[in-house]
């Protein structure tokens, strides 16, 4: 029997990166591909910024800032201080070390290097052996229709601190954007072990990925089990506006409602134990687990639970 090998994890920022880190503790370099949302990417101060991609990269490099959940540890803020003195825009915090990522990425993008190749090179240089792949090398931009009009994602998320009420979400460019080729061919690989949808905000972290042309079909056709992890615990997100946004969009802010959102795509759903009984009538395996990942051990433990759920569903490869 051939060994099912590669695990593909779809991730947004902080929550997704935590599970990705747990998976990286178990899986070797050729066993894990983390696909990061790039719908949050934006241009700011002339720089191309990829917040989710960087959070995943910094986390797997062991360089993440455990206090903020974004940016780099041991960061300094002299650039921001001087920028403020010159009257520059300071609503988006860019640390001195973090700036190097954005400046070097922007340079290489301008030279025509695809984002996935830049990311692979950065990972190699930062000692990250696992593959981290942007969902697409094409531009996708998440925009939100709110009570303050249509807003760019970071304008809503950072500048306005998620305060506007969200009425609709659009992923501009997604319909014509091609999923990153390595990502797509992993989904088509008959020996793929699992696709894991990390506990990220479904509306703004996972659905931009799902909105890529042909991606839902590729997931539906994929031979491996697809397992999602609930980002909500007792109706609340560990971090971020998931619950608020779901309510504003007329959805229940529950683990069950997230599973409904993924209906037809996932084969198993890993939820916090106390939420499991409410996830009924889904026609999929509901796997109770501890999903709160405060410690590194908990990240690894959840990763093991998710992989076990996937492996339980998998038919052996002939």
Contact in structure between 267 and 313 (CB atoms under 8 Å): yes
Contact 231, 258 (CB under 8 A): yes
CB of 130 to its own copies, least distance (A): 18
- To its own copies, the closest distance from the beta carbon of 11 in angstroms equals 21
Of 120-128, 134-142, 201-209, 262-270, the window that binds its own copies (rule: CB under 8 A) is: 120-128
Is 8 in contact with 195 (CB distance < 8 Å)?
Answer: yes
| Site for its own copies contains 104 (CB under 8 A) | yes
| By CB under 8 A, residue 88 contacts its own copies | yes
Q: Which is nearer to its own copies, 80 or 213 (CB)?
A: 80
Q: Which residue has the tokens 């997931």?
A: 219
Q: Is 60 in contact with 132 (CB distance < 8 Å)?
A: yes
The residues pairing with 226 across neighbouring beta strands, listed in sequence order, are: 195
Give the one residue of 42, 122, 153, 171 binding its own copies; rule: CB under 8 A: 122
Rule CB under 8 A: say whether 112 interacts with its own copies. no
The one among 11, 38, 101, 154 contacting its own copies by CB under 8 A = 101
Give CA–CA dist 205/13, Å, rounded. 8
Strand 226-229 and strand 285-289: pairing?
unpaired
Instruction: For the CB of residue 223, give the shortest distance to its own copies in the complex, in Å.
Output: 37
Do 228 and 219 contact (CB within 8 A), yes or no? no
The answer to whether 159 contacts its own copies (rule: CB under 8 A) is no
Restricting to residues 25-84, name those near its own copies by CB under 8 A: 45-47, 72, 75-76, 78-83
- Binding residue for its own copies, selected from 31, 103, 158, 162, defined by CB under 8 A: 103
CA distance 274 to 132: 32
C-alpha 115 chain-centroid distance: 16
Segment holding 243, helix H or strand E: helix 242-248
| Cα diameter, the chain | 65
The residue among 247, 236, 237 whose CA lies nearest residue 166 is 247
Q: Which is nearer to its own copies, 78 or 295 (CB)?
A: 78
The footprint of its own copies on this chain (CB under 8 A) covers a number of residues equal to 32
Which stretch in 89-97, 132-140, 278-286, 289-297 sits in contact with its own copies by CB under 8 A?
89-97
Strands 232-233, 236-237: pairing is: antiparallel
Closest CB to its own copies among residues 75, 189: 75
Q: What gap in Å lies between CA 314 and CA 310, rounded to an integer? A: 6
The correct pick among 66, 87, 250, 316 for binding its own copies (CB under 8 A) is 87
Per-residue binder mask for its own copies (CB under 8 A), 297-316, x = binder: --------------------
| Residue recorded with tokens 């395996």 | 285
Pick between residue 122 and residue 269 the one whose CB is nearest to its own copies: 122
Q: Which of 96, 172, 285, 298 binds its own copies (CB under 8 A)?
A: 96
Torsion of CA 277, 8, 216, 197, to 10 degrees: 30
Q: Does 129 bind its own copies (CB under 8 A)?
A: no
For its own copies, the binding residues (CB under 8 A) are: 45-47, 72, 75-76, 78-83, 85-88, 95-101, 103-104, 106-107, 110, 121-122, 125-126
């Amino acid at each position: 029997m051939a060994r099912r090998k590669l695990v593909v994890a779809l991730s947004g920022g902080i929550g997704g990166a935590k599970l990705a880190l747990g998976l990286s503790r178990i899986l070797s370099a050729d066993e894990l591909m983390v696909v990061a949302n790039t719908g949050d990417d934006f241009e700011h101060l002339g720089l191309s910024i990829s917040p989710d991609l960087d959070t995943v990269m910094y986390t797997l490099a062991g360089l993440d800032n455990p206090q903020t959940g974004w940016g780099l540890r041991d960061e300094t803020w002299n650039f921001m201080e001087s920028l403020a003195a010159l009257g520059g825009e300071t609503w988006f915090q860019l640390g001195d070390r973090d700036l190097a990522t954005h400046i070097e990425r922007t340079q290489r993008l301008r030279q025509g290097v695809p984002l996935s190749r830049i990311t692979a090179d950065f990972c190699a240089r930062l000692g990250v052996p696992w593959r981290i792949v942007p969902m697409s090398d094409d531009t996708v931009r998440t925009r939100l229709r709110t009570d303050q009009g249509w807003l760019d994602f970071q304008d809503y998320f950072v500048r306005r601190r998620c305060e506007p009420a969200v009425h609709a979400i659009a992923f501009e460019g997604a319909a014509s954007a091609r999923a990153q080729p390595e990502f797509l061919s992993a989904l088509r690989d008959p020996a793929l072990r699992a696709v894991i949808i990390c506990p990220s905000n479904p509306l703004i972290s996972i659905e931009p990925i799902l909105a890529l042309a042909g991606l839902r079909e590729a997931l539906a056709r994929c031979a491996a089990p697809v397992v999602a992890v609930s980002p909500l615990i007792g109706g609340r997100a560990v971090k971020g506006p998931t619950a608020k946004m779901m309510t504003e969009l007329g959805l229940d802010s529950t683990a069950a409602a997230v599973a409904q959102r993924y209906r037809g795509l996932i084969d198993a759903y890993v939820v916090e134990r106390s939420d499991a009984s409410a996830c009924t009538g889904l026609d999929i395996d509901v796997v109770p687990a501890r999903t709160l990942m405060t410690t590194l051990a908990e990240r690894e433990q959840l990763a093991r639970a998710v992989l076990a759920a996937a492996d339980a569903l998998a038919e052996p490869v002939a």
